[in-house]
Amino acid sequence: MRTVKVGIAGAAGFSGLELFSMLVRHPHVEIVFITSEQHAGRPISDFIVAQKGGFDPVFEPLDPASQSVKAECVFFALPAESSLEAGPGFVHDSVVIDLSAAYRLSDPVEYKKWYKHEHTATEILPSAVYGLTEWNRDSVRTASLIANPGCYPTSVLIPMLPLMARGYCSNDTVIVDSKSGVSGMGRKVTPEATFMQISNNFRAYGVGTHRHTPEIAQELALAASFATPVIFTPHLLPIERGILSTIYFKSAKTAEECRAHLAHFYEGEPFVRVLDNGLPEIAHVAHTNLCVCTVVPSGIPGTLIAVSTIDNLVKGAAGQAIQNMNVRFGFPEETALV
């Protein structure tokens, strides 16, 4: 198989470093540049000590004009506003896989409502493919712009989309209760992200306002062909990584029927496990590209509970991005992910 020249924009953040650590082991990838505005001129071994004495590229500033012609595929591990600015400069020469929210929402008005700034790349937005690999694999194969899903939405949509599409869910409100490790907050230090605020603590945040809410609602509506209200509440766990989502939904089906449908839908998928017994745990998926999920009774007739877990930095970010790259360039999907 041929080698693909790859760039990582924003490689000094948690997702960017995870991308580098996985891509450097990919047998069909050559990393040709890594960028960081803040850390330009520093080697990546300042962040990943294992690279000392080995392949140790230096961070450079982002420059679409020169970098777009170097790389066939560019990963954006950037803030959404930076991805909007850089996207048009790369997408005509490179396949762009964006880990931010810049291209996930199809409606720029909805984007502005939740992200509080204008969508400034509307000329390329219609070409974006939502990169939930197991759901949109055929579209990913030919995409020039892949919008990697958010970490929370990935944990919700993998169990819920097949049920929505099959008519196993009513159009009543879907309630999503999610918990994430602190790496989901990103690398930026804030008062809320200090050790004293996180250790031995547990709290909700973004209640009623979290930006992943419209992404979940958009994809559920597309699968079901009707709008479904979504209440999404994230919580911060005092652990490094991992997401566990508990999803409450109305259904005329039994939990057994839902599990059977999910098991059939994901049969043969390398990164989805549907449990018939027991409940998913973060320990099942940490440091992997797996999603483990199930559906169980709630004890209330007509209401079921889906439970799903992923690693937010892998299946929720870098791993799914590499899975999409593998699909896009025709590599075995598990390459560098198992």
Catalytic sites, residue numbers:
151
Compute the CA torsion angle 126, 103, 84, 310 (nearest 10 deg): -160
Q: What is the DSSP string of 230-290?
A: EEEEEEE-SSSS-EEEEEEEE-SS-HHHHHHHHHHHTTT-TTEEE-SSS---GGGTTTSS-
Could you tell me the two tokens for 53?
Answer: 């004495």
Handedness of CA 313, 317, 321, 324 (dihedral sign): positive
Tokens linked to 254: 């039994």
CA dihedral 104, 110, 113, 118 (to 10 degrees): 70
Per the DSSP assignment, residues forming a β-bridge with 304 are 249, 297
- For residues 245 and 309, the answer to whether their CB atoms sit within 8 Å is yes
Contact 269, 252 (CB under 8 A): no
